[in-house]
Amino acid sequence: MSQGRLLILDDDAAVAQTIASIAEDLGFDFQICSEPDAFFGWVEKEWPTHIALDLVMPAMDGVEVLRLLAERSWRATIIVTSGIGTKVLETVQRSAAERGLPIAGILPKPFGPDALRALLGEGAKLPIPTTVNSFPHPSISESDLDDALLGDQFVVHYQPKVRLSDGDPTGFEALVRWQHPRYGMVFPDSFIPLAEETGQILPITYRIFDLALSWFSAIERQPPLSLAINLSQRNLTDLHLADQLLRSCTRLGVAPSRINLELTETSAITDRAAAFDILTRLRIKGFNLSIDDFGSGYSSMQQLVHLPFSEIKIDKSFVLSMTESIESRKIVDSIVNLGHTLGLTTVAEGVETLEALQLLRELRCELGQGYYFAKPMDGAAAIAWLAGHGAHPETTIDLLPKTSTKPAG
């Protein structure tokens, strides 16, 4: 059996070939790319489990490649190689780790076969890739999604949303994962686009809604928490959406006013009239609407003004970079102000550091979500997390050690 798929990005053919032969000996399938465009093409197509990356290349440097991999939440185990000094490599490793990229290690060139062998072997032991996309499939098909629905393979993880002023949890966002019998945990970016294309997103959304709602209905807490569910634009062609969601709420005894439906990309909708009707009906039934990824280009000002949203979620790309980039900070600042002007609750997504949290507080952003508080967790872990984070000043997020935010997988 193959140990995994290794994708090598190195402009030095001899080095790439050396890495390939060692990997092949260890039972890996491999692919060599000498420039980034081809590399990202392979990443999308072949779902590598391991990536060997040269830091210094003419077309695009490895740091940029790492940043793009992080942006796409790519979860292959990464080995960084380079002839550049160890100090630089260490800095790269640290910054990659902060972005949540699983770096197995760094290989200062020239390296011997044993060093690489150790890292490829090590990779298998890394906590993230073994639980996440441990051996993802290159081609998920429509019938795989049917099997997933029939076999109850979708699970929902929950990420807390907290009030930035005191760290108190105000709710959770439901994020779907696919517990695949062979490939392990598959993340939404890997199958939601296909489900949207085939229309299977409709039954999948109902399944997620029911799973999340039955988990949520068991939580008793004062003041009551909110639950956010993601909708695709395809859901806004489904004329039964509002009635179906309301039925689930009634059955499970959850008031629609506690549900936030998060939306992006409504600009791409073909039948805008139907979509606006569906959104208005959801609002009339008491659901809250939230505009997701604001500023990313998919969510626009026009939608915000014309649709009955009650919350604005600032795209995480700005929040992640706001501590280093003055531009990002200014964008976050103006989105927060826009939200306040329109009477919307403002939420920052992608809060990873205390520094970002402090900046967001200064900018008077109200709510936050991100790895600094907690990663998405399975239902049981989310309940346990909630028990330790309460409406008491002494348990606010700031005072808690960061180790309490361990992901559940």
Q: CB under 5 A: which stretch of 115-123, 247-255, 327-335, 347-355 binds Ca ion?
A: 347-355
Parallel, antiparallel or unpaired: strands 169-180 and 154-163? antiparallel
Which is nearer to ligand C2E, 31 or 350 (by Cβ)? Answer: 350
Q: Does 263 bind ligand C2E (CB under 6 A)?
A: no
What distance in Å separates the CA atoms of residue 268 and residue 193, rounded to the nearest whole number? 14
Q: Which of 299, 409, 300, 319 is nearest to 367 (CA)?
A: 319
Q: Nearest approach, Cβ of 28 to ligand C2E (angstroms)?
A: 26
Q: Burial level of 290, CB count in 10 A (0-12/13-18/19+)?
A: buried
Please name the residue that has the structure tokens 């999340």. Answer: 212
Residue of closest CB approach to ligand C2E: 370
Q: Does 230 bind Ca ion (CB under 5 A)?
A: yes
Q: Nearest approach, Cβ of 98 to ligand C2E (angstroms)?
A: 9
Q: Nearest approach, Cβ of 32 to ligand C2E (angstroms)?
A: 29
Q: CB under 5 A: which stretch of 46-54, 66-74, 85-93, 288-296 binds Ca ion?
A: 288-296
- Beta carbons of 274 and 315 less than 8 angstroms apart: no
Touching ligand C2E, residues 218-257 (CB under 6 A) = 230-232
- Beta carbons of 285 and 259 less than 8 angstroms apart: no
Contacts of residue 288, Cβ cutoff 8 Å, sequence gap at least 6:
226, 257, 259, 260, 261, 310, 311
Specify the amino acid at residue 214.
S
Q: Does 265 bind Ca ion (CB under 5 A)?
A: no
Assigned token pair, 197: 């294309």
Touching ligand C2E, residues 19-78 (CB under 6 A) = 73
Q: Does 176 bind ligand C2E (CB under 6 A)?
A: yes
Q: Which of 105, 129, 169, 188 binds ligand C2E (CB under 6 A)?
A: 188
**CB under 5 to 8 A by kind: which of Ca ion, ligand C2E, none does 73 bind?**
ligand C2E
Q: Nearest approach, Cβ of 173 to ligand C2E (angstroms)?
A: 7
Contacts of residue 42, Cβ cutoff 8 Å, sequence gap at least 6:
7, 31, 33, 48
**CB under 5 to 8 A by kind: which of Ca ion, ligand C2E, none does 175 bind?**
ligand C2E
Residues that bind Ca ion (CB under 5 A): 230, 262, 292-293, 349
